[in-house]
Structure 1
């Protein structure tokens, strides 16, 4: 079986025959998917705001759509970063802004109210996913009454510092003995 990972390996490196299961948990996978969704949507809003406003019957608001696109891209990038929780909360806030902007287009003279209603349903569904992902990826803190683990007597050496020093001396003596012979 061919794996792209084998392309960058040196001749003597072992080949990857089979990949294992992903270490990413479902909340991480959802955050990643929402991040890429936000980037894709943001690029569309930023590069083609007139198409978006025409589809919604909200012509004249291209600058707002372009700004929303930039916000989507930035929140998407943050959702893919180490600080994904902040990115997901930014997405939740953005969903509220999107809904408010869409509601302003639900006027009696807008012939494309049906498109706005559909967009509101989509924003609502995505908002629920964003909120769920933000809740599931929030940093976990120990409860206030939890005992802290303290390790004042641990050195990081499994057999103690003296054993490590002794082993280091043996290695140095062995190495110098091999050099002088």
Structure 2
């Protein structure tokens, strides 16, 4: 039996998965090629910082793929906020040689931060609802009028008459059509049968 579990995922679950895979991909790129990132942003010499950001992205990306991605999404949002602050510091320098690249990175990180925050809030609402107090139904019997009254109904005391499953043809309204005695033709059609309209 093939069960497609992706059909039961909510939109925030799918977004969390997408953010998780995106974080893992970008994190691996920052871990394996930090010089290309620092060169693009004009911050040569900050490869250690880029590697730490990559490790954080991989860790939060893996966490976002779990059953409860809420903690990883909040951590990712906090990390994105730090990245935004660092990029704003770079953008504040009017003489920075790669201001265009910094602006593009700022746009991308801003969109990622907004998506992470939205998804973290949606997952927090979902998991707080699921982890709420379970109602106690131990005092309920399932019989709205009580068990004693239900016992009488089953024995016939609660129901006056038992309705028939189908009405009798003799009591049904409408004109009666006499039955035909013709023999069936080769196609199996009988004149005067129920198939005559």
Query: TM-score normalised to the size of structure 2?
Result: 0.63
Match of 2:114 in 1: 128
Please tell me whether Structure 1 or Structure 2 has the larger radius of gyration of its CA atoms: 2
**TM-superposed deviation, 1:104:** 2.5
Whether the aligned pair in 2 keeps the contact of 1:92 and 1:131 (CA below 8 Å) is: yes
Structure with greater contact order relative to length (CA < 8 Å, sep ≥ 6):
1
Return the alpha-carbon distance in structure 2 between the equivalents of residues 141 and 23 of structure 1.
17
3-state DSSP of counterpart to 2:44:
coil
Summarize the Cα distance change of 1:89–1:21 in structure 2 as closer, same or farther, 3 Å threshold. closer
Provide the alpha-carbon RMSD of the alignment: 2.7
Match of 1:35 in 2: 20
Whether the aligned pair in 2 keeps the contact of 1:49 and 1:62 (CA below 8 Å) is: yes
Residue correspondences, number: 137
Return the alpha-carbon distance in structure 2 between the equivalents of residues 85 and 110 of structure 1.
37
**TM-superposed deviation, 1:81:** 1.0
Extract unaligned runs of 5+ from structure 1: 1-13, 155-181
3-state DSSP of counterpart to 1:148:
coil
Summarize the Cα distance change of 1:60–1:91 in structure 2 as closer, same or farther, 3 Å threshold. same
**TM-superposed deviation, 1:147:** 8.0
Return the alpha-carbon distance in structure 1 between the equivalents of residues 90 and 44 of structure 2.
10
Match of 1:71 in 2: 56
Match of 1:102 in 2: 87
Summarize the Cα distance change of 1:147–1:105 in structure 2 as closer, same or farther, 3 Å threshold. closer
In the TM superposition, 1:25-174 aligns within 5 A as 25-106=10-91, 107-138=93-124, 139-141=127-129, 148-151=135-138
Higher helix share: 1
